[in-house]
Chains A and B, each alone.
Chain A
Amino acid sequence: MNHRLLCVAAWATLVAAITQGGESGPQQVIADAARRVVKLYGSGGFRGLEGYQTGLLIAPNGRILTVASTVLDAGEVDCVLDDGRRYAARLVGIDPQRELALLEITAEDLPAFTLDPAGPLAATGTRVIALSNMFGVAVGDERVTAQRGVIAAVVPLQARRGAAEAPFQGEVYVLDCTTNNPGSPGGALIDSGGRLVGMLGKELRSTTAGIWLNYAIPAAELCRGCDTILGGVAAGPAQPVEPFDLRLLGAVLVPDLLDRTPPFVESIDPGSPAERAGLRADDLLIAVGPLSVTTRAAVEQAVGRLAVGDPLTFVVIRGGGLVELDLGPRPPAAVRQPAAGGRP
């Protein structure tokens, strides 16, 4: 960190605080932003499913962006503005890949957030405020709940809901405050200047750590989602990854008897690409390219995710040390080898 810059920044804030007499303090920022946040009530009420969430006004004519969820399934969604006015919202469309939904109410001259398609990603450590109808505690003209925090990390989303993997795998903001609450999805994430940084995502668990995620989808991604919906571009759900069977390279991994079998090499076919690359029986695969893998299923997924022809490298543990192996270009998976022989 450049200390001089830090001093200047501190001065700038001080001057701003004095000249504006506190008008742009967090209270004012929250008040301005909260007018652009709406409470949504829809279907739900089934065991374990909430019937409410949050939405963002993104145009003065009543366009509302929120997350696509079971709350919207009824088709009829009640939308309550910051001032308590209640509208029936109509579903305009859904972006299944980002799991976003666009709603519309018949109203004019509403305060709205501006979505910046070219906005850069906010940095780790940025102070943010989350505004949402968490737990549905804000009723009528009661203002949504504000929480403070910082952006803890900016990472690709690796998450699941129940057993299903979340379709969106782009970068998201991980937050250091607990926003993973019923009603929070669709809420606003703003910075200390009141700019919209992102939208609070659905309730998801991390697939790498098993913990609940507190995260938000970046504003630029929201823009792309809106374009997808309004442009009628049927993006469709992300293509599922076809796992790649390593026997195509001549490597047999230990049988996948358990859900999370460690990826040990059981045997190598003589003369196979795996043998030529130096892979040996009893090697433990720990990485495919830059990606860490701890299970046999993860190996097959990671290789399957590579495009045909992309360079394929493994890192293995052998005799207590790490060995990096170059398998050459990733082969196509179209031709399956007979299970009995497995020779190329």
Chain B
Amino acid sequence: MIPRSPCLQAVTSLLAIALVPALGSAAEPTLSEERAFQAAVARVAPAVVRIEPLAVSAVAASGELRPGEGPSTGIVVAPERVLTTDFAIPADVEESLVVLADGGRRVARVLGRDRSRGLVLVAVTDLPATPPLEPAARADLAPGQWAIAVGRGWTATSPSVAVGIVSATNRAWGKAVQTDAAVSPMNYGGPLVDLDGRVIGVLAPLPADTAGLTEGTELYDAGIGFAVPLEDVLAVLPRLERGETLAPGMLGIAYRSQDPINGQPIVGSVRPGSPAAAAGLEPGDRLVSIDDRPITRIADAKHAVAPRYAGDRISITLSRETAGETPKELTVEATLVDRLPPWRRAVIGVVPVDGPTPEPGGIELDWIWPGSPADRAGLEPGDIVTAVALEDGPATPTHAPDDLAGMLAGLLPGGKISMTFRRAGRETSVGIETTTPPADLPVAGLARPARGIDPLAGPLRAAPVVKLQAAEAAEPTLAVIPAGTSPMGVLIWLGPPQGPIAEAEARAWQQAAAESGVAVLVPGSADPATWSRGDIDPVLRSLAALHGRRPVDPRRVGVAGSGAGAAFAWLVAERLGTGARGVALVGGGLPRLATVADATPDRDWWLLLGPGGDEATRQRIEADRDRLAAAGYAVGLLPAEPFGDIPSDLLCRWVSLLGML
């Protein structure tokens, strides 16, 4: 901290002296701190303006008041230029109102947006000049130092004050400083200042992808607030001024590890047509550094790439191992893009076994989709895939289903592979052309019996209903768990909201679970009238509790919802992300305001929709199907007949097929 004036310096040292007796006694220089807060606020107050919506947006007019449909805050960052958030001025709005301390109103027009950090630059004519802002250098910040959040959302006439500390200096993958000062829609867009009135950053409801939230606003009053460092804002101001929309930069790789934080930074797949593909990255490459920043975990790579914008050029050093040679390091350059080409999964139509790896290694096939490329190439259940070569490439040994999945993820449908498999001790190689995953679930697909079940051995014992007591849950969740010990597929069934589920309801799944070998989790809603976001965590915890009973196969987790439970099922799947492989919305649709992110190798769900009862539902399902298909998902329609209200048999079979490659 470098005080600006000798007097402030004196105050600072006085504060230090005054704090000394505080160690031994209870005294605290409360009043001098109070005045220091007010002085810091006074320094930036002239640059802080109130932002009001010009009119109600179309979305808000149709529904309940959302936090943020009211007044918010902005900050004058240059003459006649105000920076605010996309919370105050959502993406579909081009104009807003700026209200000055004297009550004067000005129309603000959007110039540019930073979609990566949720900021908007607006032009405001006839805006009084304000002293320039002084940024607080990020490198000098330390958790624990005072941080004061300033806004004008409450009233234009005087700035609002919230006092806290800097909680962390490098949050949201490096995009923001975190504070415990009260940050809410009222001061989004306002400055977070230090005790000298220097601007630490601009308060913003960051797209909090770090916390798994769909809206950053969910964090208001939670003791977590974010500020985008003013230095970073000033660096992109010229681009916003030119009317650019800055987007998060995408590279186009997925990692081999299922652990997105601590996993090894080894490339699992490269999106065809992506910057990574253009730079020549290949599955198996280990990232060593990005822009001279050392990479040892996946999290390091995310920290290096996430703050960068589309159009930014990054330098990647990687280590590549070729069979029989020592790994060599090479450095490539990639230009990030705002949107990757639509990703379509490439499959050959095989379902690997869920049991242990066969000796002496390889992937044992459990089932072949009838009519699929694998079927046409002559593959059969029981075959063991030992190696796969991409078109013209060297053969890579395959030890586990993820190896095959990783290689296929680097191909577009129509790409060719050569597959070596073992049958009765003999190895054979075949050429296979990949295709898009099947969308509809043909009745033929239901013929797959659960592994280890002998159809001739008489009627199956129904799978038992068990009560799972998840941590911190008020009510146990019912689950139907089939016999066996190998990792099992799981269907999470979210019916219409009704509070705790009656045991009789769970019994409806016993037969289907036994026949398919898939466990069924039947969570209830806390409120008998509605599913709410608060119900998501208990569902995830009961899934963890189920895993404790018998291992869950992460490649075969499906979430299905019916009626009002359909929209909730979508929210649960979004939270699960890569932890879910299929989503079925039975007789219902997506949440009304759902954003549908493009399918990626990390987030690739097989979707089932329908059947629609009345005409309105049918139309909605039709529209949802188009949206989801455009985003790159395989979307199938559920037949209305002959499966009845709860297509238990069909859904369990669907889950058992989710691991199809």
B504 within 8 Å of A (CB atoms): no
- What distance in Å separates the Cβ of A177 from its nearest Cβ neighbour in chain B? 7
On whether the beta carbons of B54 and A284 are closer than 8 Å, the reply is yes
A91 within 8 Å of B (CB atoms): no
Q: Which of the residues B34, B55, B105 comes within 8 Å of A126, measured between beta carbons?
A: B34
Query: In the bound complex, how far is the Cα of B60 from the Cα of A259, in angstroms?
Result: 10
- What distance in Å separates the Cβ of B656 from its nearest Cβ neighbour in chain A? 42
A295 within 8 Å of B (CB atoms): yes
Q: Which of the residues B27, B54, B61, B65 comes within 8 Å of A286, measured between beta carbons?
A: B54
Chain A contacts for B105, CB-based, 8 A: 286-287, 315, 322
Q: Which of A1, A12, A25, A151 has its CB near the most chain B CB atoms (within 10 A)?
A: A1
On whether the beta carbons of A125 and B34 are closer than 8 Å, the reply is yes
B154 within 8 Å of A (CB atoms): yes
Q: Which of the residues B21, B39, B56, B95 comes within 8 Å of A260, measured between beta carbons?
A: B56
Query: In the bound complex, how far is the Cα of B223 from the Cα of A6, in angstroms?
Result: 30
On whether the beta carbons of B155 and A155 are closer than 8 Å, the reply is yes
Query: In the bound complex, how far is the Cα of B149 from the Cα of A212, in angstroms?
Result: 18
B185 within 8 Å of A (CB atoms): yes
On whether the beta carbons of A25 and B26 are closer than 8 Å, the reply is yes
B403 within 8 Å of A (CB atoms): no
Chain B contacts for A210, CB-based, 8 A: 65-70, 185
B25 within 8 Å of A (CB atoms): yes
On whether the beta carbons of B160 and A6 are closer than 8 Å, the reply is no
Binary contact readout B57-85 vs A (1 if CB under 8 angstroms, 0 otherwise): 00011100111111100000000000000
On whether the beta carbons of A152 and B67 are closer than 8 Å, the reply is no
Query: In the bound complex, how far is the Cα of B222 from the Cα of A247, in angstroms?
Result: 46
Stretch of B12-20, B255-263, B624-632 on the interface side: B12-20
Stretch of B2-10, B111-119, B134-142 on the interface side: B2-10
Chain A contacts for B24, CB-based, 8 A: 22
Query: In the bound complex, how far is the Cα of B9 from the Cα of A43, in angstroms?
Result: 56
On whether the beta carbons of A26 and B38 are closer than 8 Å, the reply is no
On whether the beta carbons of B160 and A152 are closer than 8 Å, the reply is yes
Which residue of the partner chain A has the closest CB to B32? A10
Q: Which of A124, A209, A210 has its CB near the most chain B CB atoms (within 10 A)?
A: A209
Known: A7-B14, A14-B18, A292-B99. A176 touches B182 (CB 8 A): yes
A206 within 8 Å of B (CB atoms): yes
Chain A contacts for B153, CB-based, 8 A: 209
Query: In the bound complex, how far is the Cα of B30 from the Cα of A28, in angstroms?
Result: 13
Instruction: Enumerate B33-57 residues with CB–CB distance to A below 8 Å.
Output: 33-39, 41-43, 52-56
On whether the beta carbons of B38 and A125 are closer than 8 Å, the reply is yes
A70 within 8 Å of B (CB atoms): no
A127 within 8 Å of B (CB atoms): yes
Query: In the bound complex, how far is the Cα of B280 from the Cα of A69, in angstroms?
Result: 68
A258 within 8 Å of B (CB atoms): yes
B465 within 8 Å of A (CB atoms): no
- What distance in Å separates the Cβ of A198 from its nearest Cβ neighbour in chain B? 16
Known: A262-B56, A262-B61. A9 touches B107 (CB 8 A): no
Chain A contacts for B155, CB-based, 8 A: 153-155
Known: A150-B37, A153-B160, A261-B61. A22 touches B154 (CB 8 A): no
Q: Which of the residues B25, B71, B99, B160 comes within 8 Å of A124, measured between beta carbons?
A: B160
On whether the beta carbons of A6 and B11 are closer than 8 Å, the reply is yes
On whether the beta carbons of A176 and B18 are closer than 8 Å, the reply is no
B368 within 8 Å of A (CB atoms): no
Query: In the bound complex, how far is the Cα of B42 from the Cα of A124, in angstroms?
Result: 11
- What distance in Å separates the Cβ of B636 from its nearest Cβ neighbour in chain A? 36
On whether the beta carbons of B21 and A18 are closer than 8 Å, the reply is yes
Q: Which of the residues B14, B22, B223 comes within 8 Å of A22, measured between beta carbons?
A: B22
Q: Which of the residues B7, B31, B70 comes within 8 Å of A209, measured between beta carbons?
A: B70
Q: Which of the residues B62, B97, B181 comes within 8 Å of A258, measured between beta carbons?
A: B62
On whether the beta carbons of B161 and A24 are closer than 8 Å, the reply is no
Chain B contacts for A125, CB-based, 8 A: 34, 37-38, 41, 161, 163
On whether the beta carbons of B32 and A9 are closer than 8 Å, the reply is yes
Chain B contacts for A206, CB-based, 8 A: 70
Chain A contacts for B538, CB-based, 8 A: none
On whether the beta carbons of B55 and A150 are closer than 8 Å, the reply is no
Query: In the bound complex, how far is the Cα of B103 from the Cα of A315, in angstroms?
Result: 12
Query: In the bound complex, how far is the Cα of B161 from the Cα of A126, in angstroms?
Result: 9
On whether the beta carbons of B21 and A17 are closer than 8 Å, the reply is yes
On whether the beta carbons of A22 and B11 are closer than 8 Å, the reply is no
On whether the beta carbons of B186 and A211 are closer than 8 Å, the reply is yes
Known: A150-B161, A210-B66, A260-B56. A25 touches B22 (CB 8 A): yes
Which residue of the partner chain A has the closest CB to B65? A210
Binary contact readout B147-160 vs A (1 if CB under 8 angstroms, 0 otherwise): 00100011100111
- What distance in Å separates the Cβ of B413 from its nearest Cβ neighbour in chain A? 45
Known: A10-B29, A18-B21, A206-B70. A320 touches B14 (CB 8 A): no
On whether the beta carbons of A6 and B36 are closer than 8 Å, the reply is yes
Query: In the bound complex, how far is the Cα of B28 from the Cα of A192, in angstroms?
Result: 10
Q: Which of the residues B55, B103, B159 comes within 8 Å of A294, measured between beta carbons?
A: B55
Query: In the bound complex, how far is the Cα of B42 from the Cα of A138, in angstroms?
Result: 39
Chain B contacts for A10, CB-based, 8 A: 10-11, 14-15, 18, 29, 32, 35
Chain B contacts for A151, CB-based, 8 A: 161
On whether the beta carbons of B54 and A26 are closer than 8 Å, the reply is no
Query: In the bound complex, how far is the Cα of B34 from the Cα of A26, in angstroms?
Result: 14
Given A6-B7, A13-B18, A28-B26; 7 other pairs, CB 8 A cutoff: A17-B29, A153-B186, A178-B182, A192-B30, A209-B184, A260-B56, A292-B99
Instruction: Give residues in B with beta carbon < 8 Å to A.
Output: 5, 7-8, 10-11, 14-15, 17-18, 21-22, 24-39, 41-43, 52-56, 60-62, 65-71, 95, 97, 99, 103, 105-107, 109, 149, 153-155, 158-164, 181-182, 184-186, 220-221, 223
20 A-B contacts, Cβ less than 8 Å apart?
A3-B7, A3-B11, A4-B7, A5-B35, A6-B32, A13-B30, A18-B21, A25-B26, A125-B163, A127-B31, A127-B33, A154-B155, A155-B155, A176-B164, A208-B70, A258-B62, A286-B52, A286-B54, A286-B97, A294-B55
